[in-house]
Amino acid sequence: MHNTIAKGFRAAAVLAGIKKKTGKDLGLIYSEIPADAAAVFTRNRVLAAPVLVDKEKIKSGKCQAVIVNSGNANCCTGGQGIQDAFSMCRATAQALGISEELVYAASTGVIGQPMPITKVLHAVPGLVEALRAEKAGGRDDFARAIMTTDLVPKVFSLPGEIRGKRFRITGIAKGSGMIRPDMATMLCFVCTDAEVPSRFLQESLSLAADCSFNRITVDGDTSTNDMVLLMANGMSGAKIGTEADREIFQSLLNDVLLSLAKMIVKDGEGASKLVEIIVQGAASDADARKVADTIAHSSLVKTALFGEDANWGRILAAAGRAGVPIEPDRVDIRFNDVLMAENGMSCGDAAEAAATEILKMPEFAIVTDLKSGKGRASVFTCDFSVEYVRINADYRT
């Protein structure tokens, strides 16, 4: 990982007073020139105001700045919420001296409370001033400002090369709870200084999201504010043109988004373990994904992970209710390389003891082999802890 942001992009953050807790809560990412843009949004039918606004803006395929607040989701706030999202964009555009159509907004926090728009608008001039004064990129300040229940900021950046031209992809994400992405993640902003054809940019982002953010779960809940925004300003001089160029760019984007996705699960509210749920031997990849999703979402499986209880019966039971045909007396279950159950039956006390040691690790895999075909899928999940209940019981208070 590298500690820089893609060429031509800057970021900054300030304290606007939106959150209950102290700390910066308003951030801005800015490209020196208008960038080609692509986005994916939540499929939740309850949509936050910024999502509604940005879904229209992205039709232009262009973006130059995005203003992001934490502490308030601006969701279920009616027509006023829509106007507040537009006001955030308008104020930012005026302060930057760019077109309002090139400014997007994003919000994260409590649902159903009016946006303290006066605080936001009052803070925008200082935010733009901080952006212009920031010489180091302001990336880490921005990453912290968009956090809610996150314990750590989530940033990942990788360099690439196309026909002798170097470029970079930098991603910044937030997310810890209400994580069961149904397109993307809670919030993620990706900047690249490569020049990428508009049509491929959207295809590339959608594919990368499916390979990363759509393979994670913390608690099975899909947010109302989910979005991933990808901006490509071309300032490195690297141009994505040929099929080989596209493969290089796609692979790099996949790596950046998957790294961020794993960070989100690892930082899941109260989580102590990052677990990859692998299902193989299914009749199809789609069937394998259904089984992996069901296991990964299971509260009983996740609480057993927290308790370091090698309760493979819960895993098999979850597989059996996934809605796809399985033959229970053919299923094998492994914790890393420890065979815990073979042909639907326990491998004994020694296997359980070995599996229990695996469960004490901060990261491991659970492999369920259905032995019914060549289908395979994997999903990343975490354990459910007492701390998760406490955080969400007290979230508004």
Residues recognised as catalytic: 185
Task: Give phi and psi for 152, each to the nearest 5.
Answer: -135, 150
* Cα dist from 191 to 155, 260, 334, whole Å: 11, 14, 39
Q: Could you tell me if 322 and 291 are in contact, meaning their C-beta atoms sit under 8 angstroms apart?
A: yes
Smallest CA-to-CA distance from 264 within 190, 183, 170, 173 is with: 173
**Residue 373, Ramachandran bin (φ over 0: left; ψ between -120 and 50: alpha; else beta):** left
Alpha carbon distance 332, 338 (integer Å): 11
Alpha carbon of 265 to those of 124, 244, 275, 308: distances in Å?
32, 32, 9, 18
Contact 342, 332 (CB under 8 A): yes
Residue 56, both tokens: 């229209």
Instruction: Give the type of residue at 203.
Output: E
CA 50 to chain centre: 17
Q: Which two tokens stand for residue 198?
A: 């508009």
- CA gap 85, 375 in Å, rounded: 44
Taking only Cα atoms into account, the Rg of the chain, rounded to an integer number of angstroms, comes to: 22
